[in-house]
Structure formats: C-alpha cells, structure tokens
Amino acid sequence: MKVKIHLQLLARVWVHAPVYAALFLVEGVLMGVNQAIGTYHIHHIFDLIEEQAGFAPIMHILVEFAVYLLVHYAFYHWFRDCYQPRAKERMHVSLGEGIAQNTAYTAEEVRRMTSQVDELLEDMGHIVTHTMAGIAIAVLLFRANVLAACICLFACAVRLSVVLFHNHLAVRHHEELAQLEEISGAFNLKADALRDYSHRKRALISEGNRRLARVTFAAEGSMMLIDFGVILLMLYQYAVKHTVSLGDVAVFMTALWILSWQVRGLFERLQHFCQS
C-alpha cells in the first residue's frame, strides 16, 4: 500500500515539476556511471603499464578522466547548491496546489505529503545510482573473466541473504524487548519482581547482541574468504595461465567491493522506499 502511495506521489512530481524530477534521474545515472568509468580507466592504465606503452598514453587517460570528473562535479554542485534549493520550493508549491485540488486530503495531509516527496526523490536517485553502478561494474567484471564474475555475483547474493537474516534477527530482538517492556509496564512490580525483570532484560539484550555478532562475524569472514579466492583466481590466471591481463586483475581488485556495496545499497534504499 505504501509503495503505491509513494509511486503516485512521484508521478505527481513528474506532472508538476518534470525538469526537477528528471535532473534527479540524471544525477543518479551520472553518479552510478562514475563508479564504472573510474574502474574502466584503472583497467586501461594497468594494461598500458603491462604493455610498457610509456608515460604519455597514461597521462592522456588521466587528463581525460580528470576533465570528466570536473564536468561531473560541476553539474553535481550546480544541481545541489544552485538549482535545487529554488526549484524545490517551486515544486512544493505546485505539488501542494495540485494535491489540494483533491478534497479527500486535509491541509495537514497535503503538507505531510509534499515534505515526504523530498525523501522519495532522494531514494529514487540513489536507487538509480546503485542500479546503474551495479550493472556497469558487472559488465566490466564479465568482460574481464566470466568465471570470477559469476563467483562475485554469488558472493553478492550471499551478502544480501546475510543482511536479510541480520535484519530479521534485529527486528526479532527488538520485538522481544518491546514485549518485555509491555509486560513490565502492565504490572506494578515490587522490588523482587523489578530485580528479576532487570536481570531478564540484561540477559535478553546480551543474548541478542551475541546472536547478531555471531552472524556478522560468520558472514564477514566467509565473504572475505570468497573475495580473497577470487583475487587468487585472477592472479593465478594472470601469472600461470596467462589468460587475463594485468588490467583485468586490477579491475577485480577494485570492483569486487564496489559491486558488493552497490548491491547492498540498492537493497537498503528499496527497503527504505517501501517502508518510509
């Protein structure tokens, strides 16, 4: 139900402030592509080093990348610092007037909905960023080595599963504490009962923290081993099999954690969008 309301709000923004909404998408795309462009340039530079191409071609790539970054961040700061503050106020007024025409909403609900739009637009921009970055990085990994890229995607899926399980444990732990608080609040506890309640609460908190710590340790340890295994595989194929280039190895050493972070960031933003 919340997702439907959020999508309807975003649709209203596209009607009343299409340029403002479109620039959020453009910013999201640029921020996502930025991750892949940096990784691509690293790949190219290390291949040139391996080929002993000299300093001039490497310098050319660095200057090209520096110009791209200047243009990218100029747009970012123009959008965030110059355009957005004024455009946001105009969007709020236009959107509020459009929603107010529907008599089903009160003035307070209109104010709440217009204020919520800012958060939804930020979520939309970050979802686009993580999606674009994840796809672009995955393409670079598959171009470098299919087997190692498949292992990376498997590792991302495992990480995502662990995050889900960790969140489930955290929610369950919170619910157990809330239930204990509710029971204690429903009765006028005497001294002995109060001490027993405090002991049980401390024990519950301690046990919940231990469970979360065990899951986190096992997950992070397993993921480190998988990441280390992928890098060893790439180094073996480079040094022994000679089936990959030095640039391919560099891509995996930089993109491995970027891809994992982007997948996790995408999931967390989607969760926030659906629950806010």
**Residue 247 to residue 18: CA distance in whole angstroms:** 41
Of 184, 262, 260, the residue nearest 220 (C-alpha): 260
Average of per-residue pLDDT values in the chain: 76
Residue 110 in tokens: 């209109």
3-class DSSP state of 180: helix
- Kindly tell me if the per-residue pLDDT of 53 is higher than 60: yes
Position with higher pLDDT, 69 vs 217: 69
Tell me the pLDDT tens digit for each residue of 233-262.
888 888 888 888 888 888 888 877 787 778
Mean pLDDT, rounded, for 190-206: 57
Residue 94 in tokens: 């236009």
pLDDT at 203: 62
Mean pLDDT, rounded, for 147-151: 82
DSSP 8-class letter at 104: T
- Tell me how far CA of residue 135 lies from CA of 27, 30, 141, 273, in angstroms: 16, 13, 10, 20
Q: State the pLDDT confidence band at 109, using cuts at 50, 70 and 90.
A: low
Position with higher pLDDT, 222 vs 25: 25
DSSP 8-class letter at 52: T
pLDDT at 235: 84
Q: Give me the phi and psi of 103, to 5 degrees please.
A: -70, -5
pLDDT at 22: 84
pLDDT at 18: 81
pTM over the 0.85 mark: no
CB-count burial class (<10 Å; 0-12, 13-18, 19+) for 145: buried
Mean pLDDT, rounded, for 108-114: 68
The domains of the chain are located at 2-145+244-275
pLDDT at 116: 76
Run of H or E including 182: helix 146-186
Mean pLDDT, rounded, for 149-164: 76
